[in-house]
Amino acid sequence: MHKSLNLSGRLASFRFAFRGILTMVKTQRNAWIHAAATVAVCGIGVLLGLSAPEWCWLVLAMGAVWTAEALNTALEFLADAASPEFHPLVGKAKDVAAGGVLIAAMSAVLIGALVLGPHIQGLVGNR
């Protein structure tokens, strides 16, 4: 038990986590969409000079989407290992997990609109 609390054990945990993120990005097309949206929102946020509270909302929203995508990917991998052939319950579980990603992504879009919208409207309105 004490062995798992040492520094090398903690570093290994980070290594495994980063490997999991890399696997998600390499294997999931939607992760590329999330990555593009993350880069775009961060770039726009920097250009607009967002406040710390505005950044907090955006980071929370982006983190929720990435977390949902990671959990969805993990569930898909486990489901495929447990039932390589089609099973209706596995299909439903995958659909529900994908729905969770969609809910997080739609919420993030709404948060992005609420945070970025007034700034963009101010720029457009000043022309």
Closest CA to 39 of 61, 55, 62: 62
CA distances from 92 to 28, 63, 121 (A): 19, 25, 41
57 close to 115: Cβ distance less than 8 angstroms: yes
Residues catalogued as catalytic: 69
What residue spans of the chain are helical by DSSP H?
Answer: 7-27, 29-48, 52-82, 88-125
End-to-end Cα separation, the chain, in angstroms? 64
